[in-house]
Amino acid sequence: MPVIVQKFGGTSVADLDRIRNVARKVKREVDRGNQVAVVVSAMSGVTDQLVNMTRQLSGLSTPSALEEYDTIVSSGEQVTAGLLALALNEMGIPARSWLGWQLPLVSDAAHGKARIHDIKSDAIMESLNEGNVAVVAGFQGVDEHGRISTLGRGGSDTSAVALAAALKAQRCDIYTDVDGIYTCDPRIVTKAHKLHRVAYEEILEMASQGAKVLQTRSVEMAMNHGVRVQVLSSFSDAEGTLLVDEEEVVERKRITGIAYSRDEARITLTSVANIPGVSAEIFGPLADANINVDMIVQNVSEGGAETDVTFTVPRGDLKNALAVVEKSRDKIKYKSLNSDDSVAKVSVIGVGMRSHVGIAQEMFKTLADKGINILVISTSEIKISVLIAEEYTELALRALHTAYGLDTE
Ligand code: ASP
Ligand code: MG
């Protein structure tokens, strides 16, 4: 019998009515003759509440505090797994709940952001073969010391994909509150449309660009294990978006989608000595302070003795980043330090970039025609990102969506 993994996020299990609705979606797959393993998140808002409570009690700076953190914040999934199993039983579908340690889903001991080592599938497979639906608490595992671990916020997606790989599932359906992946945020670009297929690589670029539909790690795992993931809504019966290998993306558009992030801040250091080792003096301490630097540009002045260095960091890290840079002023010897937190990053993404030319040029021209100044540019093989003033975000997204022929008629 084919195995299907279904994953339901926090909004899909937010109350008992919604849990009954989820049970009906599970029943439908059972009625189609599938063996079904379901992975659930905590009810929406619950994990936040639990995190809050732990933070009020502790700075979470010791290993044992982090172990308790995981014991506490993983509990929301225990509740929803039990409730869904109960709802299924009430509908006449045999089901049982599974906690991470009961499978077990074995993880490393990096509490709060653990990685999955292995899923032992014998026990759950046996239960499926006996005709039961398995309802698995997402987000949690057990480390080698027998302590509960969690997989990072949004980690139930990764639980689901890992389980689908372990059970050699035919498909991993991720039910969420959006009905798929769109060419652009439909709240901003009304002409955005749903994509039927997206390459794993594209989703990875979109996710890290701020289109937060799936936990990034779950997509990497799906790509590495060839898991067919479908993103769809638990509130409608519409077809979702399928994540596939690049070769399976039939329609080779120039651009697949456009993403944006407002969680950006720019920092510029002027007149830095243009000598070996200076970049390390700037970015080493930032890395040590756990600040994630994204875009970087360096412009060497005429004569080449000095250079300006501009880079971006998450907006919430700006103050911290400035403090870190100021601390090394004696070593870096910059003339001035300035920053701007009213910037946004807009990115065009698509595997079609590998076979089409002129994509960057088109982006720059489209923005220029709208009078939008580009502050920083960065690229990868399938992505071009620009940093612009935040106030032009919507205008840029709409103009690019039209320019690349993505508008629906
Ligand atoms: N409940 C966890 C969170 O809110 C895990 C998940 O929902 O994926 O991050
Ligand atoms: Mg999620």
pLDDT in tens, 323-344: 999 999 999 999 999 999 999 9
Q: Residue 171: what pLDDT?
A: 96
- Residue (of 283, 291, 332) closest to 313 by Cα position: 291
What average pLDDT does the structure give for the chain? 95
Q: Residue 341: what pLDDT?
A: 97
Give backbone dihedrals phi and psi of 299, rounded to 5 degrees, phi first. -120, 120
Number of Cβ atoms within 10 Å of the Cβ of 45: 12
Q: Which of 8, 39, 40, 41 to mutate to test the pocket of ligand 1 (most atoms within 8 A of CB)?
A: 41
- Strand 95-98 vs strand 133-137: parallel, antiparallel, or unpaired? parallel
Q: Report the atom number in ligand 1 closest to the C-alpha of 9.
A: 7
Give the three-class secondary structure for 404.
coil
Q: Which of 8, 72, 79, 139 to mutate to test the pocket of ligand 1 (most atoms within 8 A of CB)?
A: 139
Q: Where does ligand 1 bind, in terms of residues with CB under 6 Å? A: 9-10, 41-42, 47, 76, 138-139, 153-157
- Residue (of 207, 195, 200, 124) closest to 159 by Cα position: 124
Question: pTM of the predicted model, to two decimals?
Answer: 0.87
CA dihedral 171, 176, 181, 187 (to 10 degrees): 170
Q: What single DSSP character describes residue 32? A: T
Joined tokens for residue 145: 């010391």
Joined tokens for residue 214: 């799936």
Least confident of 6-15, 209-218, 283-292: 209-218
What average pLDDT score do residues 176-184 get? Answer: 91
Least confident of 46-50, 57-61, 67-71, 299-303: 299-303
Ligand closest to the CA atom of residue 152? 1
Contacts for 66-72 with beta carbons within 8 Å, 24 or more apart?
66/111, 66/112, 67/111, 67/147, 67/148, 69/111, 69/112, 69/150, 70/111, 70/112, 70/114, 70/140, 70/147, 70/148, 70/149, 70/150, 71/147, 71/148
Q: Residue 210: what pLDDT?
A: 62
Q: Residue 275: what pLDDT?
A: 87
Q: Report the atom number in ligand 1 closest to the C-alpha of 48.
A: 4
Least confident of 126-140, 204-218, 347-361: 204-218
Residues bordering ligand 2, an ion, CB closer than 5 Å? 9, 154
Give backbone dihedrals phi and psi of 6, rounded to 5 degrees, phi first. -120, 135
Q: Report the atom number in ligand 1 closest to the C-alpha of 157.
A: 8
Q: Report the atom number in ligand 1 closest to the C-alpha of 215.
A: 8
- Strand 35-40 vs strand 3-8: parallel, antiparallel, or unpaired? parallel
Q: Report the atom number in ligand 1 closest to the C-alpha of 156.
A: 8
Edge to edge, what strands does the sheet with 133-137 contain?
95-98, 133-137, 35-40, 3-8, 171-176, 229-233, 241-244, 197-199
> Residue 153 C-alpha to ligand 1 middle, in angstroms?
5
What gap in Å lies between CA 160 and CA 117, rounded to an integer? 14
Q: Which range scores top for mean pLDDT: 158-162, 354-358, 405-409?
A: 158-162
Exposure class string for 255-289: b at 16+ Cβ within 10 A, else e: bbbbbbbebbbbbbbbebebeeebeebbbebbeee
Q: Report the atom number in ligand 1 closest to the C-alpha of 10.
A: 7
| Straight-line distance from the first to the last Cα atom of the chain, in angstroms, rounded to the nearest whole number | 42
Contact between 169 and 227 under an 8 Å Cβ cutoff? The reply is yes
- Residue (of 333, 312, 331) closest to 375 by Cα position: 312
Ligand closest to the CA atom of residue 139? 1
> Residue 305 C-alpha to ligand 2 middle, in angstroms?
49
What average pLDDT score do residues 52-67 get? Answer: 96
> Residue 252 C-alpha to ligand 2 middle, in angstroms?
29
What average pLDDT score do residues 183-188 get? Answer: 93
Q: Which of 11, 12, 39, 153 to mutate to test the pocket of ligand 1 (most atoms within 8 A of CB)?
A: 153
Going from the N-terminus, what domains does the chain have, and what CATH number goes with each?
3-177 (3.40.1160.10), 258-403 (3.30.2130.10)
| Atom 5 in ligand 1: residue holding the nearest Cα | 154
Q: What is the pLDDT of residues 68-124, one digit of tens each?
A: 999 999 999 999 999 999 999 999 999 999 999 999 999 999 999 999 999 999 999
Give backbone dihedrals phi and psi of 138, rounded to 5 degrees, phi first. -75, 175
In this prediction, residue 251 has a pLDDT band, given cuts at 50, 70 and 90, of low
